Structure 1
Amino acid sequence: MKFPLHQPTLKLLAGLSGIELGAASHNPFGVNAINVAPQFDEKFYTDSQLKMGETPTKIDVYGDAAHIPVAEHSQDFILSSHVFEHIPNPILALLEWQRVLKSGGYVVMIVPQPDALLGDNRPLSTYEKIIQAYQENWTIETSPPGSTYADHYWKFTSTTLRRFIERLKIETEGLPRINWQLLGVEDPDSKVGNGFWLAYRVP
């Protein structure tokens, strides 16, 4: 299946270079980005892309959303499509994105709609649970049993995720401050339509 390029992302990131987390060749964005993904994902995604008749996307740098092995303040953007819900410690990932971005850089993400995953009857993720994941330093290996449904740790609407990021602007509860400016919302997204799109500028 071929999906269209995403025009809001192309417009925002034109002429820039950055990182795409977990790029998939069957649904490209067409931006100037290196692909950062965990090594243990490589065979699974290579096989799935080959089954779709696509040439697998090369992983340029092995890493994950919370551990990106590039210099600080070296990237124009972080692009994340259907990745955020798979991150055991979202706050740690947001801090890592802030670390690697240049001043004025962009975070662009598409996150699944809460009903996108068939059979996922969990309630929406709470702010308190995400704080718990940060305070306990959840990883794939250490997150409590039952933390995921089909590898999804988190479940958001566009509104609840935006409110979560907005709350991180306030230095409370011993949390680091993430003071990002919301630039755009698309709900549902015009890429595939099973998620929502958020764009932020990092100071």
Structure 2
Amino acid sequence: MLSPKSLIILLICIIIILGIYIYRTPPIAPSYRSLTSSSKTCLESYDRHIFHKISFHSSMVHVTGPVMINYWIQNKTGFELGGPSHFTWAPLGVYEAALRLDVTNFAANTLWESNLKDNSDFVWKNHSKGKQYVRDAVDLKGIPSEFYDFVLASHVLEHIANPFKALLEWIRILKPNGVLLIILPLKTVTFDHKRDVVRLEHLIEDYQKQTTEADLSHLDEILRLHDLGIDQAAGNLEAFKARSLKNLENRGLHQHVYDQELLYYMFMCLNLDVKLQKIWDNNNLIIGQKR
């Protein structure tokens, strides 16, 4: 019979083993499979009635518990759009966990970064983590196909006029079974709270029409419904409008508004297996795996 001291030691060992298992296990199982095993997406032949046979339910979205993504990142090679992200990926330990991480921004000088140099070192906490590129999110020219284990984008997709074009480019650089991790704003607590979530059909139409990043078709809606009381950095309406008219240069506009249901169907459309949907603070997180 074990002594009390031995029982305590055994209990501690069990707790440690369980902690390691939970940390290294994917955050959700099983995944939600896409509609078809083929490489064809819904962009070529979208039929709402067929497509929505796989139903989204709010219970798929986790709203409690810690955000655990290291399983997808640890000791792997990744690529980030719009990085580094000091308020999302950084607190989650992504930059320390990744073996290598290349990043890109759409221009050398943006509203968020300045003096970036293409093909320079990406340095995080005085350590080189990978390469810094200057590429548009919809055209990652020179970035090799099927090279990365994971791709990150935090508060990027909402700034893009043709999101499906961007997503296809991000998927292109992913290895088979690689994962796409995307964070977008939670509508209800941001300056977009008065706007409607965009319809999937509209985004498909943007792709089919080859909408460019110069598009300002949503500007009137944005100027009417954007809550400047929350977005104080944008200034008054006159200043915000002046900045918005130069959106191709600064990419400050939120072109579309998203929620978890829309993100789910977008990933299904692109044949990504949804691994996790999570809401925390003012963020929507979705993780999808490439086939």
The alignment's TM-score, normalised by the length of structure 1, stands at: 0.76
How many residues are treated as equivalent by the alignment?
177
Does the Cα contact within 8 Å between 1:85 and 1:152 map onto a contact in 2? yes
SS at 1:115 equivalent: helix
Does the Cα contact within 8 Å between 1:72 and 1:101 map onto a contact in 2? yes
| Bigger-Rg structure (1/2) | 2
The residue identity in structure 1 corresponding to 2:257 is K
Give structure 1 stretches of 5+ with no counterpart.
1-5, 48-53, 169-177
Aligned to 2:112: 45
Relative to its length, the structure with more helix (as a share) is 2
Distance in 2 of aligned mates of 1:143 and 1:131? 17
The alignment's TM-score, normalised by the length of structure 2, stands at: 0.55
Aligned to 1:172: none
SS at 1:106 equivalent: strand
Q: RMSD of the TM alignment (CA)?
A: 2.7
1:108 correspondence with 2:181? yes
Aligned to 1:74: 147
Distance 1:112 1:90, change over 3 A: same
Aligned to 2:74: 14
Does the Cα contact within 8 Å between 2:183 and 2:284 map onto a contact in 1? yes
Give structure 2 stretches of 5+ with no counterpart.
1-65, 115-123, 223-251
Distance 1:147 1:128, change over 3 A: farther
* Structure-to-structure mapping, 1:171-190, within 5 angstroms: 178-188=270-280
Distance 1:196 1:145, change over 3 A: closer
Structure with more relative contact order (C-alpha pairs < 8 Å, separation 6 or more): 2
* Structure-to-structure mapping, 1:83-98, within 5 angstroms: 83-98=156-171
The residue identity in structure 1 corresponding to 2:72 is L
Aligned to 1:61: 133
Does the Cα contact within 8 Å between 2:190 and 2:282 map onto a contact in 1? no
Does the Cα contact within 8 Å between 1:9 and 1:108 map onto a contact in 2? no
Q: Cα distance, 1:44 vs. partner?
A: 2.7
